[in-house]
Structure 1
Amino acid sequence: MNETLKVLIVEDNPVNARLVGRIIETAGDLTYFHAETFAQATEILNRESIDVVLLDLHLPDSDGLETLTRMRAQNRQLAIVVLSGLADEEVAVQAVKSGAQDYIFKDQLAAHSILRSLRYAVERNRIEEALRASEERYALATRGVADGVWDWNLESNELFLSDRWKAMIGYEPHEVRSHLDTWLERIHPDDRGNFRRALDERMQGGDSNCMIEYRLLHRDGQYRWMMCRGATRCDERGMVTRIAGSQTDITDLRLNDLLTGLPNRQLFYNRLSHAITLHNVDRLKGFAVLWLNIDRFSAVNESLGIAAGDRILIKIAERLRQVVWVSDTVARIGGDEFLLLLEDVHAPEELSSFYHQMQDILESPVSVEGREFLIKFSVGAAFAEKDTTVPELMQDVRTAMLRAKELGGNRLEFFQREMTQRAHRHIELETLLRKGLERDELQLFYQPKLCLQTNRIVGFEALLRWFQPEQGLIPPDRFIPLAEQTDLIQPVGEWVVSTAFDQIRRWRLDGLEIPVAINISARQFKVSDVHRLVKQYLEKTGIPANLVEVEFTESVALSDLDKTVQALTALRELGVTIAIDDFGTGYSSLTYLRKLPVDVVKIDRDFMRDIPDDENNAAIVSASLAMCHRLGLRIVAEGVETAAQMRFLQNERCDYAQGYFIARPLPADLALQFLREYDGKLQASRVS
């Protein structure tokens, strides 16, 4: 040892102190200080950097092991050698157990024993400090990572579980016994066998590395999903002596939707199963399940891209969290579908009230990439029933959601037993529609379009009707969505185009040049070559293109903007008029119209409702009219039913109007009769 060690002799017997001092002086690498009391020792320790203390436990101001305890408290890094009498050997041994590095007897103060003991104490203290620092670094490292650390010594059967490992299941370090049985007992019964087999394979010298997912019981009574990784260490004979590794809590990955952070289908089903169990035990513990599907969300994804759609889904998830209680569950089960489990809900009135509150929050505009989108939902709901199962309840609530979609979306539908029957009727209706198409049961009706400046009928819109021999008139909102959901939309759509062109041709033969608007559904626009179809019938019938107006909805424009612009441009080059229908009900904005080659905008009938009394709707219509006129577009207002609405539209300089106030949709012969009578009345009024 090259450096000089500073020794503090704490001894109230001056004879013993001088003897030890002389021995220390003989060594060239030691120097010493002397204190007769604990108080003096404290002063020296505060002043000097002492390496080792030769300590008498019996001092005037301190006695016994308390002296050692007080000295260790002064400086935990001090090396301490206890001076003891022969009669106090047990106390000296206890002192070493309590932190002293060594002890020597006062009756055996030989030079070599004192010097050896002092140097040994310093060296041992350094080793202990290094070990303590290493342990502290290891403990700090295990606390500083999110993973729990474990280490199983097979030779001693000792298991180390880090503090973090224990905290992952909700316990303080001292509350969990570090034993393999403790670990295994907390593993889910369904996973325990696989976990045990994985350990056995490692113990028998299998693959040195392993990774297994399993469920571990948390203090709160819930199971958490864990990913356990381990590696083996072998002795020189190749025998496994240790298995050590880490454990990660992957509950959020296994049970939560990665995009929104909401519970996923599996976690939702777990909670639903628990709710059903509670309900079967106590009927007062009622609950309801809601299935939410975003209306026309595919149009957003196809137009703006999946990334923008994902941002909308994230915002919807955030809003859904705001509308439920802590005890409720909101889950995303994929795509644009969400599930809600509402605890302590028993009556439709309660659920309707909740639905309207949810609507207010969810349907406020969502801003993405500088655009605002109005998000609407089709919602199905079902209540807890006796002895129901998860699959049965999920089928019920999904059936209700699909019913809401069939009815046009943006609504709540409660499951009713007859909905199952309705699903069967849906299949029957599809069969009837196929036969009806073959048997020529479909018909076009024509609704007049009035010019608000000249008060003349300037054309018709062709509207599809189905007269089924046994059921009579089947409303279009029953069979058109059905056609769009099946492969029937293409033949039905072609029949509409063919029939409308033929009717224009017939009227021309009677000397009437009457423009007709033909509706092309979003599904038909996707699956059919509309340009080819229109061109084919223009050539076949020889009618002028300016007598044909092609109407499409906003969802067509948003499904794929580039392709839509290309297709509409090609149609426009044929000379036909292009109109966008149901404007304002979807995701686009008025400025979005600049990108589309359209001539006419049709304002949806929903905005005409309660005008002019509804100031909000009136403001929307006024703004739409002003913006469209600035873009050089003509406007048709649909759903006009009162004289007050007509006056409002005329004052706002709307171009055209359609609605029951003018005329209902009529068969071709009655439409022609209406046109002639209307023109006759108009001429008569002008003459008079």
Structure 2
Amino acid sequence: MEPKENNISILIIEDDPEDQAMLETYLKNTHLTISGITMASTVAEAISYLRQQSYSLIFLDFFLPDSTGLEGYVKISKINSAIPVIILSGLSDTALSLKAISLGAQDFILKGEYDAPSLQKSVWYSIERKKNIESVKEISERHDIISKATNDIIWDWDLATDKVKWLGQGLKNYLCPNADLTNISDDFWVRGLHPEERKNVVNSLYETIAKGENSWEYDYRFLKNDATYAHVNSRGYIINNDAQKAIRMIGSIQDITARKNAELEIQKARIEAEEA
């Protein structure tokens, strides 16, 4: 499958002329729409190119005249971390390649072990994977900014894996002071629902998804870390795939205790007035 992008520009950082020629030949024999291929023999030369323009993709050899191992990848990433990088690896460099991927590289190919189809697949995979990672990162940052501004809780529920990602400053009111926000237990939300309301709240959520609706909203009581219950409003928006199957739900939890207490005071005053 070919990347959706047209006019893919590629920067190859490789000092061996034979490897340069082989990679360029195979790239031109793919079905990729390549607008240009730039060759650099050193990291310094590559950085000078990167300061002048951006590229759709970078191929990077580990061992160059002015850098060895992960050093080159780190330097390139500091110039433009948004460009996906494919590592050009020897058989003895696989451990380094995996380390580079853990740091943010998208893929690696073994020198002399690739052909046009496998190269095309690697290019497509790297561009698409990088784009998806950046998209998720942008969404997470947006959620975090919103939660910090409002003191709400943001939740992102993957319906396929049944895993929920929790974000927001509001979590500090419901979790232990030293809780690991990156490793919140799967039953955190259900366990926090008031026992008298738990069944109705959960049923309402799943019925909304089953009916194919676009959103869900519910007011309920939620357990705080001081053993009291806050009145909260929770709302979520359902994301469907191309087959219109719900695959994800993103929402928020807002503390509305003050509003609820005010409503109860007004109701109490009204009753007392009527009795008088």
TM-score when scaled to structure 2? 0.67
Q: Is the 8 A contact 1:38 1:59 kept in 2?
A: yes
Q: Tell me the residue number matched to 1:19.
A: 22
Match of residue 258, structure 2, among 246, 252, 261: 252
Match of residue 100, structure 1, among 96, 100, 105: 105
Instruction: Structure 2: give runs of 5+ residues left out of the alignment.
Output: 241-245, 271-276
* Corresponding letter in the other structure for 1:229: S
Q: Distance in 2 between matches of 1:242 and 1:80?
A: 29
Q: Is the 8 A contact 2:233 2:256 kept in 1?
A: no
5 Å matches for 1:390-405? none
Q: Tell me the residue number matched to 1:195.
A: 197
Larger Rg: 1
Q: Is the 8 A contact 2:89 2:97 kept in 1?
A: yes
Q: Tell me the residue number matched to 1:318.
A: none
Q: Is 1:69 aligned to residue 74 of structure 2?
A: yes
Q: Is the 8 A contact 2:13 2:40 kept in 1?
A: yes
Secondary structure of 2:108's aligned partner: strand
5 Å matches for 1:438-477? none
Q: Tell me the residue number matched to 1:214.
A: 221
Deviation at 1:14, TM superposition (A): 3.1
Q: Distance in 1 between matches of 2:56 and 2:250?
A: 39
Give CA deviations for 1:158-204 in whole Å, capped at 9, x if unaligned.
233331441454868844743354345556xxxx3113222353377
Q: Is the 8 A contact 2:158 2:164 kept in 1?
A: yes
Q: Distance in 2 between matches of 1:156 and 1:88?
A: 34
Instruction: Structure 1: give runs of 5+ residues left out of the alignment.
Output: 259-263, 266-332, 336-688
Q: Tell me the residue number matched to 1:7.
A: 10
* Corresponding letter in the other structure for 1:226: H
Higher helix share: 1
The verdict on how the C-alpha distance between 1:123 and 1:183 changes in structure 2, with shifts beyond 3 A counting, is: closer
* Corresponding letter in the other structure for 1:107: G
The verdict on how the C-alpha distance between 1:104 and 1:211 changes in structure 2, with shifts beyond 3 A counting, is: closer
Q: Is the 8 A contact 1:20 1:109 kept in 2?
A: no
Q: Is 1:148 aligned to residue 153 of structure 2?
A: yes
Q: Distance in 2 between matches of 1:26 and 1:151?
A: 42
The verdict on how the C-alpha distance between 1:50 and 1:222 changes in structure 2, with shifts beyond 3 A counting, is: same
Deviation at 1:214, TM superposition (A): 2.0
The verdict on how the C-alpha distance between 1:51 and 1:242 changes in structure 2, with shifts beyond 3 A counting, is: closer
Secondary structure of 1:193's aligned partner: coil
Q: Is the 8 A contact 1:5 1:30 kept in 2?
A: yes
The verdict on how the C-alpha distance between 1:130 and 1:63 changes in structure 2, with shifts beyond 3 A counting, is: same
Deviation at 1:228, TM superposition (A): 3.4
Q: Distance in 1 between matches of 2:120 and 2:186?
A: 47
Q: Distance in 2 between matches of 1:3 and 1:20?
A: 20
Q: Distance in 2 between matches of 1:127 and 1:145?
A: 27
* Corresponding letter in the other structure for 2:252: S
The verdict on how the C-alpha distance between 1:26 and 1:154 changes in structure 2, with shifts beyond 3 A counting, is: closer
Q: Distance in 1 between matches of 2:253 and 2:5?
A: 47
Deviation at 1:120, TM superposition (A): 4.5
Q: Is the 8 A contact 2:12 2:59 kept in 1?
A: yes
Deviation at 1:46, TM superposition (A): 0.9
* Corresponding letter in the other structure for 2:127: V
Deviation at 1:136, TM superposition (A): 3.8
* Percent identity over paired residues: 23
Q: Is the 8 A contact 2:73 2:100 kept in 1?
A: yes
Q: Distance in 2 between matches of 1:37 and 1:139?
A: 39
Q: Distance in 1 between matches of 2:73 and 2:112?
A: 21
Deviation at 1:152, TM superposition (A): 5.2
Secondary structure of 2:55's aligned partner: coil
Q: Distance in 2 between matches of 1:257 and 1:116?
A: 60
Q: Distance in 2 between matches of 1:132 and 1:232?
A: 19
* Corresponding letter in the other structure for 1:7: I
TM-score when scaled to structure 1? 0.31
Q: Is 1:133 aligned to residue 134 of structure 2?
A: no
The verdict on how the C-alpha distance between 1:39 and 1:159 changes in structure 2, with shifts beyond 3 A counting, is: same
Q: Is the 8 A contact 2:62 2:72 kept in 1?
A: yes
The verdict on how the C-alpha distance between 1:217 and 1:118 changes in structure 2, with shifts beyond 3 A counting, is: closer
* Corresponding letter in the other structure for 2:196: N
Deviation at 1:11, TM superposition (A): 1.5
Q: Is 1:50 aligned to residue 55 of structure 2?
A: yes
Give CA deviations for 1:216-241 in whole Å, capped at 9, x if unaligned.
324xx3736222335697x9xxxx99
Q: Tell me the residue number matched to 2:64.
A: 59
Which of the pair has the greater relative contact order for Cα pairs under 8 Å at 6+ separation? 2
Match of residue 94, structure 2, among 53, 70, 89: 89
* Corresponding letter in the other structure for 1:248: Q
Count how many residue pairs are aligned between Structure 1 and Structure 2: 252
